[in-house]
Structure 1
Amino acid sequence: MKSGTAIKIILSIVVALTIFHFSILFKIIPYEITWGGRLKTDSEMYVFELISIVINLLLGTTLLIKGNYLKPIIRLSVVNVILWIFLILFGLNTIGNLFAETALEKSFSILTLALSILIWIVLKAKDNEHTIE
């Protein structure tokens, strides 16, 4: 798989996840089925969901820069460091989701594993292979 294709797939997933988190934030989806079933109050949910949305926006922006959709506002080396952090984060999240209390959260382990693999593909490509056609 080409890096540009991996970036497109990840961006699609990020958009879907952001919509998912907004759905929780606006109580379309009950927060009790997320975060391993550990959230107990609305205020906890608001904090966790806002953090999730910000993290998704950071990942999306980083990928838009890497894929040459956005003019680089940070150096490529910083973009790569951010992507390595996300690779580690998604790897650990995959393990955490496997031990979640709800089936929904457990099913997200497949998604976080896929994101880990796709980010790995992006990171292993040569810097000039990221252009999205």
Structure 2
Amino acid sequence: MRKISLKLAAISLAVIVAVVICFHLIVVSGIIPYTIVWGGRLENRSQMLIFEGVSIAVNGFILWLTAQRANWLSARLSPKLVSLLFWALAILFMLNTVGNLLAKASLETYLFTPLTFISALLCIRLALKDQERAKPLATNTSR
């Protein structure tokens, strides 16, 4: 997993999340019908606005968290908290992958299943940053 550099993982996840946010904004605008998202289970426009609003907010949080891990922001969270949140996101993305496989809408199955699976792997990579072994300090044996 560490063969993927932290920089590549952060940039890749940021791009995926930004594209997903754009997709959700297009759904809200009505260009893409809401019947093809959320597993084809949304019943009306007001329900869609709630679900899409939550999704945009969650994806905005993921983008912000990715910026935290990549040191793109000056305000810093605890590295251990960031790792914990990325582990939680990895689990969420894996569950979402299963949900996409079971979706009624084929767009979710064929397009978003690979995206959520890749996002889960990228979150795992970003979670592992602080769990890398520290190199032992050199000891001075001559006095």
- TM-score for both structures, normalised by structure 2: 0.85
Residue 91 of structure 2 is aligned to residue 111 of structure 1: no
Higher relative contact order (CA 8 A, sep 6+): 1
1:127, distance to aligned residue in structure 2 (A): 7.1
Q: Please list every run of 5 or more consecutive structure 1 residues that lacks an aligned counterpart in the other structure.
A: 129-133
Residue 102 of structure 2 is aligned to residue 95 of structure 1: no
- Aligned residues, how many? 128
Structure showing greater radius of gyration is 2
Q: Is the 8 A contact 2:93 2:120 kept in 1?
A: yes
Q: Please list every run of 5 or more consecutive structure 2 residues that lacks an aligned counterpart in the other structure.
A: 133-143
Query: 4+ runs of 1 displaced by more than 2 Å?
Result: 125-128
One-letter identity of the residue aligned with 1:53 = I
2:64 and 2:98 mapped to 1: Cα distance? 25
Matches within 5 A, 1:38-117: 38-107=41-110, 108-117=112-121
1:22, distance to aligned residue in structure 2 (A): 0.5
2:29 and 2:82 mapped to 1: Cα distance? 31
Corresponding residue to 2:31 among 24, 28, 32:
28
Corresponding residue to 2:126 among 104, 122, 133:
122
How high is the sequence identity, in percent, across the aligned residues? 33
**Residue number in structure 2 paired with 1:16:** 19
- TM-score for both structures, normalised by structure 1: 0.91
1:41 and 1:30 mapped to 2: Cα distance? 11
CA-atom RMSD in angstroms: 1.4
1:125 and 1:75 mapped to 2: Cα distance? 13
One-letter identity of the residue aligned with 1:120 = I
